[in-house]
Structure 1
Amino acid sequence: MIAGNWKMNASISSTGEWLAAMADTAVAGRDVLVCPPFPYLGQFQEAVAAGRLLLGAQNCALEESGAFTGEVSAAMVRDLGCEYVILGHSERRALFGETDELVLAKMRRALACGLKVILCVGETLEQRQSGAAESVVAAQLQLALEQLSDDDWCQLVVAYEPVWAIGTGETATPEQAQSMHAFIRGQLAARSEQIAEQTRVLYGGSVNSATAAELFSQQDIDGGLVGGASLDAEHFLKICTA
């Protein structure tokens, strides 16, 4: 799977141009996902209905509905044709104080609404340099592994995004990325060999067309969660092709 996270970027016109560039491309389909900002989700409904793209949201509210000004519920996201939602992204954790407990609660809400979840995990540069990278990632996975059912895990994708490589131009080497992906696979296997086998583990962190092929050729890397490069349709297509 190749998933594009547009973050807080785009416009009506640029989204239309991106969709036009992606139309009738050979790589589009069940394994290509795009997660635009909330206001532009509606522009993707034709592409989703035609099976050209999967659609996801970048977040959802914990609450089901009610007096929560500015929030967007999981049910609303599903109503707009989304199949996936990104939860636990490092920017949500760092900038908005989202804890592992809150991420788990949001996952439960999303799953109950029929959404699949991309659960993001990853360490900071300081944590990696101190030798704590694996323990940080294990802690971010722990609640989901302990408290979600096997059926829930059938609806999950894990995305490893080293925080030090997001939007910085730095990318983990293929060996660094594979090492952490193998560790994540081991954490899943400790819960269930079947879950470890069936769960896609994506790599994210300044993925581009120059680095994609070597990253994706690693044994435990099942695709990418692509940030800035996904805003450029031509560049995104090259990553998908890789």
Structure 2
Amino acid sequence: MAQNKLIVSNWKMNLKLTDSKKLINQIIKSVNNTKPHIKKIICPQFLLIPDISSITKKTDILLGSQDCHYKENGAFTGESSIELLKYFRCKYVIIGHSERRQNNADSNLIISKKIKTAYKFGLKPILCIGESIHLRKKKKIFGLFKKSIK
């Protein structure tokens, strides 16, 4: 029995709406109905999720989010509600990306809270674990992994 494999495409903040629609239609033509044990997951920027959700509705392409907030709602300007992500058919959420850790000070505690919120709402977290060049040179990567998943 083949194990499920994931191909995750994190679009970051690189595409405009028209470009994203062209790209998703090209992806649909090239990968739709390929091997069922390979899950194809697209993670567009937040504002593109409703459009990409609509376009991929009748395909085997799954939708993910680039991040979420750990609170269900509240005064969190610029953040994305996990409930809204679920409404737009997101099945996955990227959590702990190095850019979020560096630019938004996402600590392991915050990442842990986000993972718990994702599970609570039925989304599957894609946990990113990245090491700094300093840790890599000191060969302390496994300590980082251990600390990250606790």
Change (3 A) 1:89 1:99: same
Of 57, 61, 66, 1:53 maps to 61
> Displacement, 1:83?
0.4
AA partner of residue 108 (structure 2): D
Of 32, 43, 46, 1:38 maps to 46
Contact 2:108/2:148 (8 A) holds in 1:
yes
Contact 2:28/2:61 (8 A) holds in 1:
no
> What SS is found at the alignment partner of 2:30?
coil
Higher helix proportion: 1
Show structure 2 runs of 5+ residues with no match: 1-5
AA partner of residue 131 (structure 2): E
- Which stretches of structure 1, 4 residues or more, deviate above 3 A after TM superposition? 26-30
TM-score, L = length of structure 1: 0.55
AA partner of residue 15 (structure 1): S
Contact 1:24/1:52 (8 A) holds in 2:
no
How many residue pairs get aligned? The number is 142
Show structure 1 runs of 5+ residues with no match: 143-242
Change (3 A) 1:26 1:37: closer
Residue deviations 1:80-139 (CA, integer Å, cap 9, x gap): 110000001111111111111110111111111111110111211111101211111221
AA partner of residue 22 (structure 1): I
Matched, 1:13 2:8: no
Q: CA RMSD in A?
A: 1.6
> Displacement, 1:47?
4.0
Change (3 A) 1:70 1:26: closer
Matched, 1:137 2:142: no
Partner of 1:122: 130
Percent identity over the alignment is 30
Partner of 2:7: 2
TM-score, L = length of structure 2: 0.87
Matched, 1:90 2:98: yes
Residue deviations 1:182-207 (CA, integer Å, cap 9, x gap): xxxxxxxxxxxxxxxxxxxxxxxxxx
> What SS is found at the alignment partner of 1:24?
helix
